[in-house]
Chains A and B, each alone.
Chain A
Amino acid sequence: MNTTQEKILSILSGICGETLEEDQLDLDLFENDLLDSLGLVELLVELESQFDVKLSPSEVSRSQIATPRLIADLVESRMAQ
């Protein structure tokens, strides 16, 4: 697990109310009702403040951010730009 993934898991734990660990990197956040529209907004706010990655809610589809791993990948690809 890299540091981006670690940070994402910690951000998500705060938003979802559940403690997410390394073995949950591929957990589907929407199917398990861990993330809803309001949670999604909180997530984007956190990504901006912690990684300086600015994403508007209409730019990201649910399939791009369905799991902690996908969110980490998206953040890394944006940081590389």
Chain B
Amino acid sequence: MDLFRILSQHAQQRGHQIAVSTGEETITYRQLEEYSDRLAACLLSRFGPGKEPFVVYGHKSPWMLVCFLACAKAGRAYCPIDTSLPAQRLTEILEETQTPVLLCTEALPFPHPRAFSPDTIRSLAQSPGMGPPQEARVQPEDIFYIIFTSGSTGRPKGVQIPRRCLENFLDWSCQLAGSREDKAGAVFLNQAPFSFDLSVLDTYTCLFCGGTLRPMTRSIQEDYGALMNFFQTTQGAYFVSTPSFAALCLADPRFCQELLPRLRAFLFCGETLPPSTARALLQRFPRCQVINTYGPTETTVCVTQTPITLSMTEEQALPVGRPKEGITLEIWSPDGTPLPYGEQGEIVILGDTVGAGYFRRPDMTEKVFCSPVRQGKAIPAYRTGDLGFLSPDGMLHFIGRGDHQIKLHGYRIELGDVEENLLKLPGVRRAVVLPQMREGSVHALVGFVEREGIEDSLAASLQMKKQLRTFLPGYMVPKKLVFLPKIPVTPNGKTDRKALEGMLP
């Protein structure tokens, strides 16, 4: 369904309902429509009808959504950046996108000639006038958003999602854990930053259904007292987060159905859901469904879903679900031949939410996006690099990665990205980063560093981690650094990862 038309209907039919609120600041559906229309018209007259994306910088302000929709209504893809991103990484993305304007809903860490301040955005959005013409909007095949993820060479890469893919996704996500009608007026809790595509699941599903979005700021997420208070006052119906975040909430005994009496469902995406987390949630929230989903950013948030039952949590690992309508899953052998049920191989996703590749990286796009012919028709497909198998009932089981990409607390990290950034530090000759596993999930990153003239001291390690934090988001900084006079190599000269694995704490 047409997202823009649905938002206009909400503005007319539920104009006074809150679309998004942080408690401090609130925007209704009518305001969302009017502000985004006005801001879009201003952006269009100032920057014309080009296709360069606009960068939107901020954290959890309701104005983030105004900016996203204004970009789309002005015919531009938007690229969301969270305030937690270090200045250097932000600079790289600004260079990569060549954005004509940087819309800031929070103060930038450095002055930027093309930045619009929060005050400028507000005054443009609230200025009198018309919206942009409908033809100016992002069309079904145009890119709606670009989300940057970790790249193995140390440079982030932008995943491009066309409007058509987002709408195909929403036609399905609005039916997760109940109908679209059930979700009208319901409160959706948002945990993930908007720069992480998990947030698309809560934010756009909420807007599509006419719900109310309640984003949790970082400061609330880091303070249990504030967090439990937030749950009590917001009365959420849909809880969308990474499994790690739910596990963190479960550490507080007050996190149960009594605290959130209206809660109907937990929707998980972004990393492996441990059976113990799912079981604890089902026990503490007897009126809630726990839904597991799976999918990479490249194919629009997630493409499978399954409700998790208590009996499933007796198994070692949970299934990730069956594909949505419009998507087929295949398991491929290394040479690209589809494998039968039960056999392990690479998970390949084919269908109507496969995105448009990487922003200005045709070489990287060509490696993983393809269009195999099925029943005489070429179908867009994405090779995930994930290993898994399909059971005869069509259920997908995720096993792990076939390469050096890992998921830590929902964040997707290329180990090579961390390694390349370690090499930028003075005196570092070689660096290898390995995941430390616990109960089948990545628990932490450990960096092995070959560096001259350094004693393995806590001070040196803390100092290096501090430097690393200026280039990389905090979640990418290894928890432990091990200093070695020489990183072991195999007889044919490759890094001996097995030997290093033996040295993991």
- In the complex formed, the residue of A with least CB distance to B409 is A38
Task: State which of B225, B458, B480 has its C-beta within 8 Å of the C-beta of A58.
Answer: B225
> Is B465 an interface position by the 8 A CB rule?
yes
Task: State which of A20, A32, A33, A41 has its C-beta within 8 Å of the C-beta of B474.
Answer: A33
Cβ of A33: which chain B residues have Cβ within 8 Å of it? 465-466, 469, 474, 477
Contact A57/B252 with A20-B458, A38-B244 known, Cβ cut-off 8 Å? yes
Within 8 A of B (CB), among A1-55: 16-21, 24, 32-33, 36-38, 41, 44-45
Cβ of A24: which chain B residues have Cβ within 8 Å of it? 458
Within 8 A of A (CB), among B408-453: 409, 436, 444, 446
Q: How far is the CA of A69 from the CA of B89 in the complex (A)?
A: 36
CB distance from A57 to the nearest CB of B (A): 4
Cβ of B284: which chain A residues have Cβ within 8 Å of it? none
- In the complex formed, the residue of A with least CB distance to B251 is A41
Cβ of B228: which chain A residues have Cβ within 8 Å of it? 58
Q: How far is the CA of A58 from the CA of B228 in the complex (A)?
A: 8
- Are the C-beta atoms of B458 and A19 separated by less than 8 Å? yes
Q: How far is the CA of A33 from the CA of B222 in the complex (A)?
A: 13
Contact A17/B253 with A33-B477, A38-B409 known, Cβ cut-off 8 Å? no
- In the complex formed, the residue of B with least CB distance to A21 is B458
CB distance from A8 to the nearest CB of B (A): 16
Task: State which of A17, A21, A45 has its C-beta within 8 Å of the C-beta of B480.
Answer: A17
> Is B384 an interface position by the 8 A CB rule?
no
CB distance from B306 to the nearest CB of A (A): 26
- Are the C-beta atoms of B458 and A56 separated by less than 8 Å? no
Q: How far is the CA of A35 from the CA of B340 in the complex (A)?
A: 46
Cβ of B461: which chain A residues have Cβ within 8 Å of it? 18
> Is B479 an interface position by the 8 A CB rule?
yes
- Are the C-beta atoms of B224 and A16 separated by less than 8 Å? no
Number of B interface residues at 8 Å Cβ cutoff, please give it: 28
Cβ of A17: which chain B residues have Cβ within 8 Å of it? 436, 444, 446, 479-480, 505
Contact A56/B244 with A20-B458, A33-B465, A38-B409 known, Cβ cut-off 8 Å? no
Q: How far is the CA of A58 from the CA of B250 in the complex (A)?
A: 12
Q: How far is the CA of A44 from the CA of B477 in the complex (A)?
A: 23
CB distance from B446 to the nearest CB of A (A): 7
CB distance from B195 to the nearest CB of A (A): 19
Cβ of A21: which chain B residues have Cβ within 8 Å of it? 458
Q: How far is the CA of A32 from the CA of B462 in the complex (A)?
A: 7
- In the complex formed, the residue of A with least CB distance to B458 is A18
Q: How far is the CA of A17 from the CA of B244 in the complex (A)?
A: 19
- Are the C-beta atoms of B254 and A58 separated by less than 8 Å? yes
CB distance from B249 to the nearest CB of A (A): 9
Contact A58/B252 with A16-B479, A18-B458 known, Cβ cut-off 8 Å? yes
Q: How far is the CA of A30 from the CA of B112 in the complex (A)?
A: 31
Q: How far is the CA of A68 from the CA of B126 in the complex (A)?
A: 51
Cβ of A56: which chain B residues have Cβ within 8 Å of it? 224, 251-254
- In the complex formed, the residue of B with least CB distance to A54 is B253
Cβ of B505: which chain A residues have Cβ within 8 Å of it? 17
Cβ of B480: which chain A residues have Cβ within 8 Å of it? 16-18
Cβ of A37: which chain B residues have Cβ within 8 Å of it? 221-222, 248
Q: How far is the CA of A20 from the CA of B469 in the complex (A)?
A: 21
Cβ of B252: which chain A residues have Cβ within 8 Å of it? 56-58
CB distance from B154 to the nearest CB of A (A): 21
Q: Please report B residues at the A interface, Cβ cutoff 8 Å.
A: 221-222, 224-225, 227-228, 244, 247-248, 251-254, 409, 436, 444, 446, 458, 461-462, 465-466, 469, 474, 477, 479-480, 505
The 9 listed contacts between A and B (C-beta, < 8 Å) are A16-B480, A17-B444, A18-B458, A24-B458, A36-B474, A37-B221, A38-B409, A41-B251, A61-B225
